[in-house]
């Protein structure tokens, strides 16, 4: 009789498994992450708030000007400006996934964020940064065809191919990060909750998990390598061909101007891809971990701020479009 009672009290394995899942889900749901950010000193908090707010406003304004000009000016309805418009739209969304939350924590001192909020921030940020990897490569191919193959450019770089490259970039970014985030959403968080970063990035978040993270880390390494190295190498190869073509220009002033433009493009692209590779592909050593926030600042804040200035606002066509837009605005106001 005693053995029968004991047996009857034992829960079925399925019920035990269900309770374990429910308990770990509750643990994760109750965890609140603390984003440590940059500094605890009140004076520095105010200074950082002003600096990041200025950067955010300039970034949004610069990229928004490009989007409005590309949409409204028929002279900018070309493949190059189609891609630049896509890039500027992406940069506005890209910065807006990180900086508003950072500004809020600097202003209020509230650095807490839920696990689900953290995963959501990583998801949207990840899609945008991965899309930019492929979009920059598509833009470099466009410039290569325009400069190195000018006779075939109009026939090859038609509206259909432009749309396919842009949509393909967005789909590739969405697919890679959706796979990563689906694995990340299954992680259990039950211990430390302080994240030494200013936004919810992959490595700081995974390091706080109580689960076995080998699978997701291996998956992240593979996807990061695929999304970073081929576009970067393609971009480098196209710019080498472009610079080689530029060196054949007989006019010294024309050669210098073209070389100056291409070198500034190449510098920003190298910073963007280089920092991404350091953060997401290279082994996570203690030295790199300490510099992680600095490298993250370069590709999350510097490149979105610099891209409108380097890619668009220095161009003659954009300057003319800006002047035309200003004249039209003053004319409408005076009426």
Task: Please check the confidence at residue 121 and state whether its pLDDT lies above 90.
Answer: yes
Tracing tokens 């600095």 back to the chain, one arrives at 294
Task: Please check the confidence at residue 167 and state whether its pLDDT lies above 80.
Answer: yes
Dihedral of the alpha carbons of 208, 277, 90, 207, in degrees to the nearest 10: 0
> Helix and strand tally (H, E) in the chain?
14, 3
pLDDT category at 176 given cuts 50, 70, 90 is very high
pLDDT category at 9 given cuts 50, 70, 90 is very low
Question: Please, which contacts does 323-329 make with residues 24 or more away whose CB atoms are closer than 8 Å?
Answer: 324/73, 325/68, 325/69, 325/72, 325/73
Q: Which helix (H) or strand (E) holds 149?
A: none
- Provide the mean pLDDT of the chain: 82
* Alpha-carbon distances of 234 from 40, 103, 159, 171, 241, rounded to whole Å: 42, 36, 22, 19, 11
Per-residue pLDDT, 17:
42
Averaged pLDDT for residues 272-278: 88
């Amino acid at each position: 009789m005693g053995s029968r009672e004991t047996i009857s009290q034992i829960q079925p394995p399925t019920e035990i498994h269900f309770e374990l899942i429910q308990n770990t889900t509750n643990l994760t749901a109750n965890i609140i992450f603390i984003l440590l950010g940059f500094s605890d000193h009140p004076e520095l908090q105010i200074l950082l708030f002003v600096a990041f707010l200025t950067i955010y406003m300039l970034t949004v304004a610069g990229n928004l000007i490009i989007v409005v000009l590309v949409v409204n000016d028929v002279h900018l309805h070309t493949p190059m400006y189609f891609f630049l418009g896509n890039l500027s739209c992406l940069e506005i969304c890209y910065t807006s996934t990180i900086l508003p939350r950072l500004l809020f924590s600097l202003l209020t001192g509230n650095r807490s964020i839920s696990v689900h909020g953290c995963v959501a921030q990583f998801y949207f940020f990840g899609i945008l940064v991965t899309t930019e990897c492929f979009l920059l490569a598509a833009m470099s191919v466009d410039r290569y065809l325009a400069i190195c193959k000018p006779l075939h450019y109009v026939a090859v770089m038609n509206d259909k191919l432009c749309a396919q490259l842009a949509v393909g970039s967005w789909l590739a970014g969405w697919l890679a990060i959706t796979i990563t985030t689906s694995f990340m959403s299954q992680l259990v968080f039950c211990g430390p909750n302080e994240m030494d970063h200013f936004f919810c990035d992959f490595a700081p978040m995974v390091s706080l998990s109580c689960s076995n993270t080998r699978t997701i880390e291996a998956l992240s390494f593979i996807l990061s390598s695929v999304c970073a190295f081929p576009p970067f190498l393609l971009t480098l190869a196209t710019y080498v061909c472009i610079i080689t073509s530029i060196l054949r220009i007989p006019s010294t002033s024309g050669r210098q101007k073209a070389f100056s433009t291409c070198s500034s493009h190449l510098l920003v692209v190298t910073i963007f891809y280089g920092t991404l590779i350091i953060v997401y592909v290279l082994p996570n050593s203690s030295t790199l971990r300490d510099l992680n926030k600095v490298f993250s600042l370069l590709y999350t804040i510097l490149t979105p701020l610099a891209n409108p200035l380097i890619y668009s606002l220095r161009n003659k066509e954009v300057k003319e479009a800006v002047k035309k837009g200003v004249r039209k605005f003053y004319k409408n106001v005076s009426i």
